[in-house]
Structure 1
C-alpha cells in the first residue's frame, strides 16, 4: 500500500539496506510486500526471485526465451504523483533486440507503470483491443502504460509508441553497453513524463511492474531490479 508520497514499494527495507553495501554482513531479507507474477497468454514466464546482488537486496529476473511481469498493484491519485526512483543492474543487453522493432522487442530491463483514466476517450479500435486483452488475460488492461527501458540499440531518450497498442509508450533510459555491470539509478518526474508521452495529464497510478524478456529474439536474459519509490 502507498501511504505517503515517498514510499518504497513492497521491499520496504531495500532503500535503507542499499546503504549498507560496504558492510561485510549481509542484512536480513525484507518482506515481499505484495509483488506477484503476471503471465502473458501463450508465453513461457520469466523467473523472478529475491536475491542479494552487488550490495543490495533486489529482484533477480531470468528470462529463457520468455516474458512475464513481476507486479505490485497501487492506488495513487494524480495529485500525489511526483518523482519516482528505481534502479536496475544488467550484465549484458539482448543481442539484436530493440523496442523500436515489434519483431525484436525484447529488453534486459523495464520498469512498467500502469495508469487508470477516462476510458470514454478511447477510440473504438482501442476499446476493442482492451476487450480482447481482458478476454485472454482475465483482467482489464491499464488505460495507459508508461514503461522505462534499458534497450540494446535505441538512443537514450527515445520515446516509442508500441506497435501493438497506442496506449503503451516506451521511454529508453539506458542503451547499449555503457551502463552494463553496475547499478543504474534513475529518478523521473512521472507526471511530466506521462504528459510528454501521451499528451494528457495522468490519471491514478494503479500498478508498477518489472519486465525482463527474451521471447521475441529467443534468447536468455538476466537482470536485477532494486527498490521502487513513488
Structure 2
C-alpha cells in the first residue's frame, strides 16, 4: 500500500479524533516548540517500516522542523476543528534539498514529494453514495472513528507545472496542488499562502465543510530516493 492511499485512511483516522483547537492561528508554531509532541503527533503507516526522520533544527537563526527521507514515509499531524467561512488562508515557508528524479504526481510510482502539506476536511454523508457510506461505516465499527472526507494536498512537485491541480493517483478524494515545482528554488526558503476556501471550491466544486486536520510530510517510499526538507511555521488566518 502506498502513502497517498493510506492518507485517505490511516491519516484520516488520526485526524478524526477529538479536536485540539477550535479557532484560527492555533497551530503550534515550530519556532516555539520544545519538542515535536507540542501540538503535533507522529504519523506512521501500516506496511511501511522505514520512517522519515523529523527533528527540531535551527536554520537562519530560527527553529524549524527538519525532515530527512530515505526511501521512507511518515509525517507529523495536528488536529483542528474549524469552519472555514468565506475565506481562510494557510501560510507557511519551506525549503527542500532536491526534487525526486522519478517524481510524478500523475503516476502511482512517482507519488512522492520532498515536501507536502495535507489539509483534511470533514466527511459529508449526505453527499456520498451508498457504497462510500457503507465503507466508512465499516471503519467506524472496526476502529471507533469517523473518517474525514476530501483533502487538499499542497506539494513541491517535480514534473507537474506550478499552480496545476490534479487528482491524486490513488484517490480522487485528494487533490494535488503544485505550489512549487522543479529545481529552480531548491535550497531556498519559499513562502506560500493559500486561500483554502478558494482552493476547495476549485478542487471539488462546492463550499468546504469543517477542516479537521493539517499534516506535513516528506516521503520517498515510491521512488526510493532521498531528500531533506525544512518546514517553518504554519499559520491559519480567517478573514472576518
TM-score, with length taken from structure 1: 0.83
In the TM superposition, 1:101-180 aligns within 5 A as: 101-127=107-133, 130=136, 140-180=146-186
**1:197 partner SS:** helix
**2:21 and 2:79 in contact (8 A); partners too:** no
The structure 2 residue matched to 1:11, chosen from 21, 29, 32, is 29
**1:87 and 1:225 in contact (8 A); partners too:** yes
The answer for unaligned runs of 5 or more in structure 1 is: 15-27
How far residue 120 of structure 1 moved from its aligned partner, in angstroms, is: 3.0
Q: In 1, Cα distance between the equivalents of 2:137 and 2:225?
A: 31
CA-to-aligned-CA distance 1:67-108 (integer Å, 9 cap, x gap)? 122100001123275111011110111122111211111110
Q: In 2, Cα distance between the equivalents of 1:134 and 1:167?
A: 18
**2:224 partner SS:** coil
Change (3 A) 1:117 1:89: same
- Structure-2 residue corresponding to 1:43: 48
**1:195 and 1:202 in contact (8 A); partners too:** yes
TM-score, with length taken from structure 2: 0.80
The structure 2 residue matched to 1:208, chosen from 207, 214, 218, is 214
Number of aligned residues: 215
Q: In 1, Cα distance between the equivalents of 2:105 and 2:73?
A: 14
How far residue 135 of structure 1 moved from its aligned partner, in angstroms, is: 8.7
Q: In 2, Cα distance between the equivalents of 1:157 and 1:62?
A: 25
CA-to-aligned-CA distance 1:113-164 (integer Å, 9 cap, x gap)? 0110312312345446656777998854421110100011110011111132
Change (3 A) 1:135 1:41: farther
Larger CA deviation: 183-192 vs 130-139: 130-139
The structure 2 residue matched to 1:70, chosen from 66, 72, 76, is 76
**1:11 and 1:30 in contact (8 A); partners too:** no
**1:10 and 1:31 in contact (8 A); partners too:** no
In the TM superposition, 1:77-88 aligns within 5 A as: 77-79=83-85, 81-88=87-94
Change (3 A) 1:152 1:189: same
